[in-house]
Amino acid sequence: MQLDTHNLPHHQRLDQAKSQNQVTGILGASGAGKSTLLKVLAGLLKPQQGRINFDGQVFFDNQTRTFMPSYQRHVGLVFQDGQLFPHLSVQQNLLYGYRHLKPAQRRFELAQIVELLEIGSLIERRVTQLSGGEAQRVALGRALLYSPRLLLLDEPLSALDTRLKQQILPFFARIRDEIQIPMIYVTHQPQELEFLQADILHMAQGKLIHIP
């Protein structure tokens, strides 16, 4: 993965985010700018200056007035609370983005992701019937079925207790090893990044520093 964010306001260049193991971790305290950075990368926020390039494709460039909308970037984003649709079943949530893709754009099928995340027994449930760990796996599955080129994880385990965190972390490792989607994993828990053998950056006051 190669991601270059050049001259963005309050953010140092992110061209350090070049990872052979597919996972780049960003550590930092609350308010450091981690979530804002992910939203900028996903196209949910538009910076006023700078340039964002991912694997040779320009997401944003203020000099050329380029801004690729979020739906064209094929970037998956998982929040700490999952943000599932409570009025829909698990299966309907999983297929929410998938059904808008053309067949040629679909990298995965529902059965593959259900097996990968071990959520087959949850398919017919309403999301209001899920535990915190189950809901996060469903949110992760929904993001994967969108066939993302890049997966952004915004404190995905922060709402879970220690036992559930230990249950969910191996699923991120499976994504890294089995389907090899590049991930940027934001957290304030270094042990999560150590488990995933991530390349680690530290963010403070909107600036990124590489940690060897």
DSSP for 19-86 reads -SSSEEEEE--TTSSHHHHHHHHHTSS--SS-EEEETTEEEEETTTTEE--HHHHTEEEE-TT----T
Other C-beta atoms within 10 Å of 10: how many?
Answer: 11
Distance of CA 4 to the CA centre of its chain: 17
Q: Show the domains of the chain with their CATH numbers.
A: 22-45+74-196 (3.40.50.300)
Torsion angle, alpha carbons of 50, 56, 58, 64, to 10 = 70
SS3 category, 137: helix
Size of the chain, expressed as the number of residues it contains: 212
Asked whether residue 6 carries a pLDDT value surpassing 80, the answer given is no
pLDDT at res. 19: 47
The 10s digit of each residue's pLDDT in 8-37 is 554 444 554 444 458 999 998 888 888 888
Cα gap 5→53, rounded to integer Å:
6
Asked whether residue 1 carries a pLDDT value surpassing 50, the answer given is no
Asked whether residue 7 carries a pLDDT value surpassing 70, the answer given is no
Tokens of 105: 């754009």
Cα gap 129→164, rounded to integer Å:
16
Cα gap 20→180, rounded to integer Å:
10
What does pTM read for this prediction?
A: 0.82
The 10s digit of each residue's pLDDT in 58-96 is 999 989 999 999 888 889 989 887 789 999 999 999 998
pLDDT at res. 211: 59
Residue 183: name the closest of 164, 167, 200, 166 by CA: 200
- Are 27 and 200 contacting, i.e. CB atoms less than 8 angstroms apart? yes
The 10s digit of each residue's pLDDT in 138-184 is 999 999 998 888 999 999 888 888 888 888 898 889 888 888 888 99
